[in-house]
A and B are shown apart, each in its own frame.
Chain A
Amino acid sequence: MASLLQLENVTIRFGGLTAVSSVSATVQEGELVGLIGPNGAGKTTVFNMVTGVYQPTEGSIAFAGQPTAGLKPFEITERGIARTFQNIRLFPSLSVFDNVRVAFHLHLKHDSVHSLTRGPKFHREEIELRERTRELLAIFNLERVQDEPSKSLSYGDQRRLEIIRALATRPKLLLLDEPAAGMNPAEKLELMKLIQFIRDKFQLAILLVEHDMKVVMGICQRIHVLEYGRKIAEGTPAEIRANPAVIAAYLG
């Protein structure tokens, strides 16, 4: 069976700097995979290549069997990859509700012209989308603040809202960029449950960049380890924990 996401010898250089060097990795359907490594190892850069923000200098990326080279970020999202950002990037002038609603846009059948004519079809679809948005917010207990501006939420809620917004695009693969950053141990525990819940409830694969070993080891089925842009290990949490190269990278 072909992998959902497949990176083959992916390399990217910025000027003289090789940020990621010949990395190969896969994510299977429904799998929860971790991507770890010390600061500056190139984890976010991998995310940015997968989501089309950067184009790899060499190597290829395929999603659901199709190469993604040359696709713009929105086209990749259309194909079923959604993401969150390391430094939260919500839409600050939109309400919590609209942050999610706008991400449903991909599944709209109407466009600018229907917004102008505002016929019955438009209204039916709008009502349905509002319902969907409300449902999604309700699953994560954010419907109580749906009319607040998104920037007024607590840090943890903003992180969750970003995940909800990504889910609204109905992805097959969700990329989470350091979702536990800035959270206290209790919040981290909750986040771990949340991530597993999302994977089961929405039946998608998750690729997780995370610093916090506890989080990664606790929930991931497989882990890829990067150091200085190279992949140094891959395996189950138990294997990674015992891998001498990983221990050296983290302790040395």
Chain B
Amino acid sequence: MEDKKRSIDPVVEPLLEKAAREGIKTAWDRLKEQDPQCGFGQLGLCCRHCSNGPCRIDPFGEGPQEGVCGATADTIAARHFARMAAAGTAAHSDHARQVCATFLEAAEGKVPGYGVKDEMKLYELAMDLGIEVANKPKQEIAIEVGKKAIQIFGSQEGEIFLTKRAPIKRLELWRKQGVVPRGVDREVVEIMHRTHIGVDQEYHNIIQQAARCSLADGWGGSMIATELQDIMFGTPEPILSKVNLGVLKEDQVNIIVHGHEPLLSEMIVVASRDPEMLALAKSKGAAGINLAGICCTANEVLMRHGIPLAGNFLHQEIALITGVVDALVADVQCVMQSLGEIAQCYHTKVITTNYRAKMPFASHIQFDESNPLESAKKIVRTAIENFPNRDPRKIQLPNDKDASCELIAGFSHETINYLLGGTFRASYKPLNDNIINGRIRGIAGVVGCNNIHTTQDIAHLAMVRELIKHDVIVLTTGCSAMACGKFGLLTPEAMQYAGDGLRSVCEAVGIPPVLHMGSCVDNTRILMAATAVVKEGGLGDDISDLPAAGAAPEWMSEKAIAIGMYFVASGVYTLFGTNFPTLGAKNLTKYLMEEIESAYGGKWAFENDPIKGAHKMIEHIDKKRKALGLDKAKERVLYDMAMRRDLG
């Protein structure tokens, strides 16, 4: 551990040193204490599903090969893997459920301050949900959309309706494979049932349900969350902002929003600009109120409001160590329990806001959906009132030029459509065209978390740089996006790192070679973008035909497994780094990384070296290019009159 750098982000080390001086433990210290971590667990070979266990399978083939109940390595790992997918789906979808409920209440006029910001998107979603929009008032449509949206969770039969957005061929494939999800809750529950002792003991069958459940996430829960959030809070458009701890300000009240939901943070943005709040801040000696974010709550308010990012997952503790955070406001997911304890060493108030997610040493201010602004003001007020409690001796803010970096965010799939042709010629055609002509070799989605086993951000950065260098345009979300942002890859100037072809396209459109598409729930934007590319034509008729690949080089959460699985089931080659939870189960791993491709057109891959990982992705992209006949340069077609008659 001593040999490996903890982060490649230069702001981290000085603050970790400060933490050490102050006797504060961080994730890196706790990892050291965990060392050696359980090898069986790492390989997916430990089963605790009943109290006959825990059972462990010997990965070397010398010890036991079956658990007490007879479950083999493949069964144990598959069950574990499926439960991760279920947990990930549950996380995204419980978030989505809250969004749906709030949306419906807002549509009914019960939530002051919330309404329909993106009317066009409302109508589009309504039509996708089979709701008649003609001659109906907006509110009525919104209520119908809300009611219908919420059905995706509890429905028992049929097909989750947003799966119809997929290319026709994909939907048919899902039907053939029996994986079109019926309802989000049902698929999650069914995994929990099937992975109980003595139920599903055939790993193909278990993975089939993991796929079905994950699709309920990608084309269900996650997608509806993104859609309704966009409708309520506005579909993101390109926006300039900053990332890294340098965005914290010594002379202002610093509030960090952390977690994954925009419902409250949207209003915290409003409250932080409220004159009453600003006056209060001033009265406490602060020059203003500075809002910043960590994890995907941050991405949500960045995408829509340009609120700066304090950092990604492994930055959460370090942010507190700066000593200038007056309040850290947490909602759900990826919030370390240690925050409460670290805050004890500073004046920082950790405020939990969601009844689902409480922790010791934090104060809880429940977010009241019937009056979001009041909740938000209460929180902001708490932060302001805490400002005078700062201990100047404990303040250490990174302030060199690398302490923060500018970035452009706000790339929704709708915005990309606009950006490629303007108001009058908006379409994905220029993207398809330049993939076809080879200026862009392919598309990669690089997403996911920070993982403590990897030097923070190193894998994201290495992989993304390698991809763009080889003319692969990168779509990114979540903590990966923040890693790219910290190192300037989200600016148009980063096109200098891209290959000639990709650079020429970036220069033409004025975009960075790496496009920040939002939070991890917003990975569905990537699905929609891929679908838009398929529908534009010229690159096959299914997502699996596209020269595209996905990766989560520093993944760690169960949500990542759900996301990875819905990408694979949607036909995408999906490469994970750091670790993979089935490596101890040979047959299962072979199935996931090879055989599954014949069923879904996509498959899993594992590669710990991000450069090698990038090249595996490129290899896959080239394979798809070849299948599309794009591996050879095409001659320019000149059109005579007869050919023109055949156009259009």
Query: Do these two chains interact?
Result: no
Binding site for B on A (CB under 8 A): none
